[in-house]
Structures are given as C-alpha cells and as structure tokens.
Amino acid sequence: MRNADEALIVIDVQNDFCPGGALAVPQGDEIVPGINALMSTFPAVVLTQDWHPADHSSFASNHPDRHPFETIRMPYGPQVLWPDHCVQGSAGADFHPGLETARADLVIRKGFRPAIDSYSAFFENDHATPTGLHGYLQDRGLKRLVFVGLATDFCVSYSAIDAARLGHDVTVRLDLARAIDLEGSLAAAIAAMKAAGVCLEGLDDG
C-alpha cells in the first residue's frame, strides 16, 4: 500500500490523443489498462483534460498561411501550432472510454484560455498563470507524485518538471506514457526531466 502523501497524476488520456483522434499519439491507447491498474493503488488520483475553445491560438487553423506543427512566436514564447484538438464539449475532448474516470478525486481542465496554451498541469505556457493544482496538492498534503499519460514529450514532461520545481518528489512512468516525438522532442524532454531531478521509471516505447 502506498503512503498517504502519494498521488497519481494522469495527463490528458483523451480521445483526440489516442489512435483515430485529431492529434493521435502512437499507441496512446495502449497505456489505459496499466493506468487503471495503477489508480487502485494510490490514495489520490488527479486527471488532467485539455479543454480548448474552437478559436484557440495554438490551432494552426486560426493562423492564416500556417500549418500544423509549425512553430510561431507568441507573447509568452515559442508555440507549436497544432491541429484542432480537444475542443470543449467535443467527443475528441472526452476521456478515453476505457479510462476509469470515476476513480479521480479531481479533474483539472487546462488550455481553456484562448490566447495561451497550457501543456503543464500546474501552469499555463507563460510559466506564471497557475491552474490551481499545486494548491490542491498542498492542501491535501500530497508531496510524492507519479505522472502517466500523454504525451511524454509535451504535457507529461512539462507537468513533471513544474512539479519538481515546486518541490514535489516526482516520478514519471515512461512505460505508462507515450510520445509524439516531434523533431527530437522526446530526447529533449527526457534530458530536461533528468536535469530537473525527475525520476524516470519503465521503458518508453515511443
């Protein structure tokens, strides 16, 4: 049995990030059974959910003459332009149907502000605007965090690094995460997590 100060943070296991979705992560659905099994061992479970308005600034469709996966400069820094995904209220924004969402104590929705993206479960991409997750974890005395979900090289790694910087003891289960791996983004994310003191467990299949 795990200690009372441990929490499982499940990042963005949503239809649009799974095979057949608008921004599918290869083998993204394969991690669902393992995540469900892990949920039952933790005293606290938090789910995050990308929740974008249709006019979100990170969508390539909202930038004339731009294409998905191009990078542009935004006031808060570089921003990858994505295919429209996880639009509020859409089927693509729903959690994967196999995910045992009833086990969650909290669902954090992120990326709902049109002018700024939010990879991390803790902050918008300005690295300053909080989501409220840190305060929740503090109030419950949850200090040791294990991250799983999608995608390893974006929302998972950003969340894990922010958690470490906020003083949490952080582990990422790479066997229960999958990556987009956009032009070397996975290797960069792994290096950044190691540099931030994040413990990496399991094998990453991509």
Active site residue 110: yes
DSSP secondary structure code for residue 52 in this structure: B
Reply yes or no on whether 199 is catalytic: no
Whether the bond between 93 and the residue before it is cis, its omega within 30 degrees of 0, is no
Task: Catalytic residue, from 12, 16, 117, 181: name it.
Answer: 12
**Residue 191: how many other CB atoms lie within 10 Å:** 11
For 74, counting Cβ atoms within 10 Å of its Cβ (0-12 exposed, 13-18 middle, 19+ buried), the class is middle
Q: In this structure, are residues 16 and 85 in contact, taking their beta carbons and an 8 Å threshold?
A: yes
29, 153, 155, 204: the active-site residue = 155
Considering 50, 86, 110, 153, which one is annotated as catalytic?
Answer: 110
Q: Quick check: is 84 catalytic?
A: no
Q: Which two tokens stand for residue 183?
A: 């032009």
Active site residues per annotation: 12, 110, 155
